[in-house]
Amino acid sequence: MRRALWLLVFLGLRARYRRLLRGLRTVRGVLLILIGVGFFALIALGPALTAGMAPRPEIPQENLPLQRFGPVGLLAFCLLSVFGSSKYRGVYFSPAEVDFLFPAPFSRRELIAYRLVTILFHVALGALFLAAFLFRYIGGYWQAVAGLFLAFGFINLLQIAVSLVTGTLEEKVVSRGRLFAAGVLAIVAASVFLGSSAAVREGRLLHEILRDWLGSPAFGWALLPLKTFSEMLAAPDLQRFLAWGAGALLVDLALVLVVLRLDVDYSEASLETSRRVHARIDAMKRGGRILASSRKLRLSLPLPPRWGGAGSLAWRQAQEMVRDMPGTFYLVLALAVGVVLPLFLSGEVGDVRAGRLLQTFTVVTVMLPLLLSNWFRFDFRGDHDRMEILRGLPLSAATVSLGQLLVPTLILTALQMLGFAALGFLGGQDPDEARGLESIVRYGPYLSLPFNLLFVALENLFFLLFPRRLVATTPGDLQNLGRLTLLTLMKFAVLGVAGIAAFLGAEGAHYLSGGSPAAAVAGAAGILLLADSAAVALVAWGFTRFDASHVPAD
């Protein structure tokens, strides 16, 4: 690669991190950075400081979950990454790179090498930041940095190789391959879920068969290129770390050679991919949605009742959701594999309990709105470029606000209902555990809708009051981390007040009814509905005072 491209890499990195230093020029920026540093220290360094208080149990080296199931987990992650990136044919370059580098006297391999160096620089910076959160559970900070860098570098190299290959294939072949991969991932997720439910229901045969097969040494050695990364991260001494690290480095170097040796004319495919990706980034900066699909479904939903205009607004958002249904399917599939597979593999390792599937799945179901709300931005957060149209509608602010909030509320409620149904299917072993689970499954659905409406309303209220573009952050951006931490604390403070009020209402109804659980749930739901009314009114106030000409901050 020529010196000019190396200089461009350096200037790009300097420009990206120069913005972080600008935050030190204002008091607000300094305060946000201090909050970010405090949160980072609490999350990353807290476990390390308390390591002596809670020593880890002794587990035989050959039975460590990272060594047994690391290759399988990395394989699933690679499949999901490749599956999600295969819709983009060719390699992505920014519009400026397309305008100035493609006509320049650089060969295709030099441009690919430039793109690889840029990606690997950002992978290295991300590994330095992420290792601070994980080194307590791996063995050492620099061991975590090296292992994460090589593992994530392998995934990015694999994505580029697949993108180059798909750029030479017909669209029909790529679509069929993606459908086949989606079917395989869905079958794997369903099999793992059935094995996990069998374990919870004391039918451990299927669970043990799948776990023993996925964690068998033969299967691990069959995935030897992936096994090098997990063994490197879990190495107990320097000798094994260097041996497995050398193997992982050879795997990455071999993949780099494959990418550079692929004599593929990716110019046309990269131009189209760059145009589409840049359009998505530009739409996200204007307040667009994360979910998107390169292939829109040609479906139309029937019009609901008008409901004073709120129904029409909700129908428009629902139609947007249907058109982005492939993106929604990818998200649900990734969530299913990403949650179910670790829970399935975190069963018993010898006599050491690595995790309890049922309790973890219950927490995930209850916290589902908090995990997925930002992905379903079919509300004000996804309509920043349409705010002047919404402001011009002959409808009251409360009607517009209610219509904008309905679709994400109903989506999150439907997904949470599926989670409650799965919990009911899993059941429980311990009698106390079964009774607690029965209460959640029986009464949780009655509180799901009002809670989700309250949460979505708070998300939109803070967006209207503090509009901000949805862009990818730079690794180590402590100012943005501080901003997110502050907003999250404010949201949870409001949710905490509403939760306390709902609890007091439930206790009062329970006492007045002579101990009726149904009355307690009705009391909590009534308080949440009152909080919903107040939240929708606040969203309407925020919508009224919103300046449509204001450009959101970066």
pLDDT over threshold 90, residue 531: yes
**Residue 348's pLDDT is what?**
47
**Residue 383's pLDDT is what?**
80
Residue 361, both tokens:
């799945």
pLDDT over threshold 90, residue 537: yes
Q: Which amino acid is at 294?
A: S
Of the pLDDT bands very low, low, confident and very high (cuts 50, 70, 90), residue 354 is very low
pLDDT over threshold 60, residue 431: no
Tell me the C-alpha distance between 330 and 178, whole Å: 11
Of the pLDDT bands very low, low, confident and very high (cuts 50, 70, 90), residue 30 is confident
Tell me the C-alpha distance between 8 and 312, whole Å: 50
Q: Which amino acid is at 297?
A: L
Give the mean model confidence (pLDDT) for residues 512-531: 89
pTM > 0.85: no
Beta bridge partners of 349: 352
pLDDT over threshold 90, residue 250: yes
**Residue 291's pLDDT is what?**
54
Of the pLDDT bands very low, low, confident and very high (cuts 50, 70, 90), residue 389 is confident
**pLDDT tens figures, 477-488:** 677 777 788 888
Tell me the C-alpha distance between 249 and 77, whole Å: 19
* Radius of gyration of the CA atoms of the chain, in A: 25
**Residue 481's pLDDT is what?**
75
Distances (CA, A) of 264 to 49, 108, 174: 51, 8, 16
